[in-house]
Chain A
Amino acid sequence: MSATWEHIANLIDYTDLRVDTQERDLRLLCLEAEKFGIPTIVVNPVNVSLAASLAKMSNVKVAAAVSYPVGAYWPEAKAMEIADAVEDGADEIYMVMSMGMFLDGRVAEQTIPEMAALVKEAQGRPTKLITEVSVLTVEQKRMVCKLAVDAGIDYLVTSTDFPQSNLPPVTLNDINVLVETAGDSIGIIFKGDFDNIEQVDELLQAGVSRFCTSSVRKLMRFPV
């Protein structure tokens, strides 16, 4: 393990997308992000304006998780939700793609327009597209990756990591396909929690660019 904590912290988007997040949790999220040198926090859209006001006095950026966790909305609905998040103070946008429509083959009517909406409505802010890589075939993974690159999206996120979805876990093989397809064209974000720093290191070695996680306190217990 060669990376320093400062290096790892800089790669984390510190996340609280729980159903029962309270104001005190958002305050803590902001405080901890600042204290630990984490650049970005990720919150649900209804919490963006409060999080933005809490983060105002720090260097912490606020990312909105649009259409989380299901993603089953038409492109125009997503465009409006992104515009709302920007208006509420979001510095970055995560957006869940419609997996069902993609699997249905509705790429021209849904997938391409929703990706375009993400880039357009984010107005230059970093864009992070959430997929569910574990339900895709190798060909489908490559296709999502290429479509995201063509759309000008900055990062592809491995999954919603929404436990109640009961989807298969993301594997190293899934990530290898994304990294191999992405090359330098798009960053790959692993979304999920960690038990130890070795797991982070393994993903860094595999070519993952960033981490969207709520495991910061757990990771802080491990010396680097």
Chain B
Amino acid sequence: MENLRHSPEVKAFAGMFHYGVLGVAKTEEDVRAGVKKVLESGYTLTAVDVELIYAPLAIELLDGRMTVHSPVSYPLGNMTLKKKLRDLEKMIEVGVRDSAYCLNYRYILDHRFDLVANEVQAAVELNQDIIEIEFNIQATLLNDNEIIGACQAILEGGGGTVKLNTGYGWGTSPEEVALVRRVFDHKLDIHPSGNIRTLAQVDELLKYDVKIIHSMAVFEITDEYISRLAKKGR
């Protein structure tokens, strides 16, 4: 089992995941503990997610070994565009290189997809490809037409990735991932998030060629993956 843990196959599997230390009462101690846990795992995750205010600390602790991710207007998306763009600028300044940009859901629910596209475009233009941005929608709260409209607006605004749900109680279903993949094929990368806690759930998502997943249970899921490989005699 220990050999498997450090195999390229397992490292590649764990490398798909984001691990987050986000929330209203998260402290420096929580961020330090989260980063320590990630580093001690020996895996190189896609990113470690922290609130912007803790990004400089996470960047210092990770010291270039992994990317630091911070969200914009998380998790409600209900801050103004001006505020969101300032936060994006600050992220560029402090060295954050991956972000989930929560879109204004009122525009989506009111079917003002032109305004959604404008918001995406403003973020893309400011960013100039410095930060990997996933545009975040609460797919769970949207009907199929709204999910498709929001994804289309992301593409029209120049975005290339949709993050389905924020986590924080709102989780992704395979049906949502399937819908986006079916309609947009590979024009959009899909990053599922929320309530993904088992290998069986990950297996379902991987059927739709998902490459990046947000999950607090990355280490438990990876352990399941290792057990499966061990059972297969790998």
Contact = CB atoms under 8 A, between A and B. Distances in A.
A98 B109 contact: no
27 contacts: A17-B78, A19-B77, A19-B105, A20-B105, A20-B109, A20-B138, A20-B141, A21-B105, A45-B79, A69-B75, A70-B51, A70-B75, A77-B83, A77-B86, A80-B83, A84-B83, A88-B80, A100-B25, A100-B30, A101-B53, A104-B27, A104-B28, A104-B29, A162-B24, A163-B169, A165-B24, A167-B24
Interface string B59-77: 0000000000000001111
Interface of A: 17, 19-23, 44-48, 68-74, 77, 80-81, 84, 88, 96, 98-101, 103-104, 132, 135, 160, 162-165, 167
Nearest to A160: B24
Contact of B87 (A45, A77, A96, A104): A77
**Which residue of A20, A46, A104, A160 has the most chain B CB atoms within 10 A of its CB atom?**
A46
B42 interface: no
Interface in B96-151: 104-106, 109-110, 138, 141
Contacts of A80: 82-83, 86
Contact of B76 (A23, A68, A71, A98): A68
Q: Which of A98, A103, A164 has the most CB of B within 10 A?
A: A164
B53 A74 contact: yes
Contact of B138 (A19, A44, A47): A19
A72 B78 contact: no
Nearest to A97: B24
B184 interface: no
Interface of B: 22-30, 51-54, 74-83, 86-87, 90, 104-106, 109-110, 138, 141, 168-170
Contacts of A74: 53
A88 B27 CA distance: 32
Given A20-B138, A81-B80, A167-B25, 8 more contacts: A19-B170, A20-B106, A22-B109, A46-B81, A69-B75, A71-B24, A84-B82, A164-B75
Q: Interface centre among A20, A21, A80, A96, by most B CB within 10 Å? A: A20
A22 B24 contact: no
Nearest to A103: B27
Contacts of A23: 106, 110
Contacts of B80: 45-46, 48, 81, 84, 88
Given A22-B106, A84-B82, A132-B24, A73 B53 contact: yes
Nearest to B111: A22
B141 A72 contact: no
Contact of B110 (A22, A88, A104, A160): A22
B23 A165 contact: yes
Contacts of B79: 44-46, 81
B33 to A, nearest CB: 13
A100 B76 contact: no
A70 B102 CA distance: 14
B184 to A, nearest CB: 23
